[in-house]
Amino acid sequence: MTANSGALSDIRVVELGQLIAGPFCGQLLGDMGADVIKVEPPGAGDPMRDWGHGEAKLWWEVVARNKRSVSANLRVPEGQEVVRRLVEHADILIENFKPGTMENWGLGPDTLHALNPRLIIVRVSGYGQTGPYAGRAGFGGIGEAMGGWRAIVGDPDRPPSRMGVSIGDSLAATYGCMGALAALHARKRTGRGQVVDSALYEAVLQVMESMVPEYVVSGHIRRRSGSVLEGVAPSNVYPCSDGEYLIGANQDAVFGRLARAMGQPELAADPRYATHVARGEHQAELDTRIADWTRTLTIAALEALMIEYSVPAGRIYGARDMLADPQFAAREALVEVESPRWGRFAMQNAFPKLTETPSAVRRPAPGAVGEHNDEVYRELLGMSPGEIGRLRAAGAI
């Protein structure tokens, strides 16, 4: 554990959510210094403890870093009362249950704000807390589909694809975090907390650029286009003699530099390629020209040329490449964490970087469900050992 100098070091968060959308919001706040108290159901805890690939299930180690774990059974009155007592000491509460669940547990906003009017409640759900779909079950992939993402990802002759990460959940969590930070700022003026309502499909919709207005104004429907964006050229993955390399030279001046790097400066003045619109109209033939050139080069030789001519380009990285790259090392983009269960290993650091109040990975993910019960319940809530024992025996914590 390292010292906490983060921007939110005076903020306490109670995290009730499970899986990704709620816990990733808690991870972001914890990285920025907040004291995040993760409330898990007694026994197995958050299902994220069992998620991951390979022999070691390490997803939990990332999403639960910088958190303390307490256990509470939200389905029984005694466990609900424990949460209400925690809320009295909290600045932010995060939950990502189906709308209505918190109200059924006696933990709805009206109840919690009566206990703590300054509380900010982040609610992440599939469709938001209102509207005809509010009561439907929703996962990140469903939000990606409804928000427009899935329709445009993949090859045009195949069904919609998905990213290899849970982008819908992460986006909704990120907007939940942004909303919490805005609400903290507003609280300085008003003295009151509020509800942050982050819907999965709306978080995805927010990053869909001009998809809707293009359709409304001109009837254009964006479609799946594989590894390119239609009309944006050249910007693609190109073959080399020893692999693949990504080049993004779709701005006029940058394309001129690429043409010079290719030894074909005349391409920049060719009417088919001289402007953004023209290059988009001749995208396929331009990509073919570039690919015919790149496949004569190794990745290293092509990269040297792109650096020399200042053309945005880069290798396609996996974990092994990240661990070996000097840019990652220089900026400490990866950080080593010591886990009691898994030993020492690397994971992504905390971003973005703040110069005065840096974010950090200060503590590893809690190993056991309720690992910090005594610490939190005794020191924060003033519970006696006997009271904690009675709650534990009753299955409430």
pLDDT digits (tens, 9 = 90+) for 251-286: 999 999 999 999 999 999 999 999 999 999 999 999
pLDDT bin (cut points 50, 70, 90) of residue 327 is very high
- Give pLDDT, residue 5: 83
Is pLDDT above 80 for 3? Answer: no
- Which tens digits make up the pLDDT trace of 178-226? 999 999 999 999 999 999 999 999 999 999 999 999 999 999 999 999 9
Neighbours of 351 (CB within 10 A): 11
Average pLDDT over residues 73-92: 98
Percent of the chain at pLDDT exceeding 70: 99
- Cα-to-chain-centroid distance, residue 68: 20
- Phi, psi for residue 247 in degrees, rounded to 5: -125, 135
Percent of the chain at pLDDT exceeding 90: 94
Is pLDDT above 80 for 110? Answer: yes
pLDDT bin (cut points 50, 70, 90) of residue 320 is very high
50 carries an active-site annotation: no
Encoded tokens for 217:
């104004």
Average pLDDT over residues 85-102: 98
Q: Rounded distance, CA 397 to CA 393, Å?
A: 8
Cβ distance 240 to 298 under 8 Å? yes
What's the mean per-residue pLDDT of the chain? 96
Average pLDDT over residues 219-238: 94
Average pLDDT over residues 90-119: 98
At 339 the three-state DSSP class reads strand
- Give pLDDT, residue 25: 98
Cβ-based neighbours of 85, under 8 Å, separated by 6 or more: 381
- Give pLDDT, residue 1: 59
Could you list the beta-strand ranges (E) of 213-324. 235-240, 243-248, 313-314
The DSSP H or E segment spanning 307 is helix 299-308
The DSSP H or E segment spanning 390 is helix 385-393
Between 342 and 254, whose confidence is greater?
A: 254
Neighbours of 115 (CB within 10 A): 14
Query: Catalytic: which of 46, 169, 197, 287?
Result: 169
Between 300 and 5, whose confidence is greater?
A: 300
- Which tens digits make up the pLDDT trace of 155-188? 999 999 988 899 999 999 999 999 999 999 999 9
Average pLDDT over residues 46-72: 94
Is pLDDT above 90 for 132? Answer: yes
- Give pLDDT, residue 2: 67
Closest CA to 143 of 96, 222, 221, 203: 203
Residue reference for tokens 């991870």: 27
